[in-house]
Amino acid sequence: MSRTTLWFGLMVLFLAGALTGVVGTSLYYQYEDEHRWDNGPAGRQERIMKRLTQELSLASSQQAEIEPIVKRAHLEILCVRVDHQPDVDRILGLGMDKIKTKLSPEQQARLDQLYARLQRRWELTREYLQETQGSMRRKE
């Protein structure tokens, strides 16, 4: 086997590995974006706790003490968000109308689908907030 063949083989191997890494990372982030909302707002709270636990190396006793604080803060943020949602809807609606004038009919239909998904997530947020606030009131 000549040196040129060896170098060519190593280059092909390196490029195949790099390509596999790029494709794998792309697929992971695409999956993450699509499934991040599978558990709705409760999933966000879980992700916050998981990240805090990992980043701060929290002991289980610390997790137990911190989780109610995170839950309360998360709910308060959601309350602010829901209170201001009509303003957000109005601003977003105006923006969507302006964007649609720049799009083809197919793109407009796709934008409508994306916006409908976003509205569904907001609806899930409102439902989650109502349920969680109701269960917290019953516990108090």
pTM comes to: 0.56
User: pLDDT tens, position by position, for the chain (140 residues)?
Assistant: 688 888 888 898 999 989 998 888 888 777 665 555 556 677 778 888 888 999 999 899 999 999 999 888 888 888 888 888 889 889 999 999 999 999 999 999 999 999 998 888 888 888 888 888 777 666 65
Cβ–Cβ < 8 Å for 75, 132: yes
Q: Are residues 31 and 61 in the same domain?
A: no
Q: Are residues 8 and 48 in the same domain?
A: no
Plot region of 57 (φ>0 → left; ψ -120 to 50 → alpha; else → beta): left
What gap in Å lies between CA 96 and CA 38, rounded to an integer?
Answer: 25
Q: What is the 3-state secondary structure (H, E, C) of the chain?
A: CCHHHHHHHHHHHHHHHHHHHHHHHHHHHHHHHHHCCCCHHHHHHHHHHHHHHHHHCCCHHHHHHHHHHHHHHHHHHHHHHHHCHHHHHHHHHHHHHHHHCCCCHHHHHHHHHHHHHHHHHHHHHHHHHHHHHHHHHHHC
Q: Are residues 64 and 109 in the same domain?
A: yes
Q: Are residues 86 and 135 in the same domain?
A: yes
Q: Are residues 65 and 109 in the same domain?
A: yes
Q: Are residues 104 and 51 in the same domain?
A: yes
Q: What is the pLDDT of residue 104?
A: 93
Q: Are residues 125 and 72 in the same domain?
A: yes
Q: Are residues 57 and 6 in the same domain?
A: no
Q: Are residues 21 and 64 in the same domain?
A: no
Sign, Cα dihedral of 117, 95, 128, 53: positive
Cβ–Cβ < 8 Å for 124, 41: yes
Q: Are residues 135 and 115 in the same domain?
A: yes
Q: Are residues 92 and 31 in the same domain?
A: no
Q: Which domain holds residue 74?
A: 36-139
Q: Are residues 76 and 66 in the same domain?
A: yes
Question: Total domain count for the chain?
Answer: 2
